[in-house]
Structure 1
């Protein structure tokens, strides 16, 4: 059965790819290459885009990256507009994605549970 992707889904995917490339190439921060764009959600009228990202680094570095992304969102939006044929380029809203950290925490809890001694009735 074919999947039906809406235009906003296709735009979100293209924004995700282009933003990841732009951030790595153009963002003036030494750790910009450690930013990963995990998802982009575009509103139905294409006026706003929520950009979810993760960052591999310390909490202080993550705060600096968040401030840098916030400061550069106008520039990123104008650069993105050069490659898109939209009536209005979406306004970018950056949100830190905690799902990777939560997944790593759950993974460590599962591994810890696997190391616990088994109950006597389960050893057979």
Structure 2
């Protein structure tokens, strides 16, 4: 039962976090950020937000610095919007699944091209 609640809270946090990043964060380092998911622990004490950033590795690092600086503001805003006794501690991680999928797609295209050349 708690696991189901953690999933619902994670989905609500994802929605609110996306809205906060678009509308409320004024830091120029935090641009072109997409929240792909939020994992919340079963006890609702910690949440990991998975993000993707459009840009090179340097821009990604700067975006992560901007998010870390705004973490307190973001957490307080989520606390106002999502009704919980205690707002989960927030962590940010890059979502590697999109890059992984692109790499697989590139490899499959190369294999297909090699087969058509033979």
TM-score in terms of structure 2 length: 0.90
Alignment of 1:1-124 (within 5 A): 6-30=4-28, 32-118=30-116
Offset at residue 34 of structure 1 (A): 1.3
Higher CA-based Rg? 1
Give the drift of 1:119. Answer: 8.7
CA contact (8 A) 1:46 1:90 kept: yes
Preserved contact between residue 40 and residue 49 of structure 1 (Cα < 8 Å): yes
Q: Does the CA-based 8 Å contact 2:29-2:66 persist in structure 1?
A: no
Structure 1 residues 41-93: Cα deviation after superposition (integer angstroms, max 9, x where no partner): 11111110011111110111000000011111110000111112111000100
Deviation string for 1:14-65 (max 9, x for gaps)? 0001001101112223464411111111111111001111111011100000
Q: C-alpha root-mean-square deviation of aligned residues, in Å? A: 1.8
Return 72-81 or 24-33, whichever deviates more: 24-33
Measure, in 2, the Cα distance between the counterparts of 1:57 and 1:29: 16
8 Å contact from structure 1 (residues 8, 44) kept in 2: yes
Q: CA deviation at 1:12?
A: 0.3
Which ranges of structure 2 fall in alignment gaps of 5 or more residues? Answer: none
Stretches of structure 1 that go unaligned for 5 or more consecutive residues are none
Give the TM-score, by structure 1 length: 0.86
Alignment length (residue pairs): 116
Paired residue secondary structure (1:116): helix
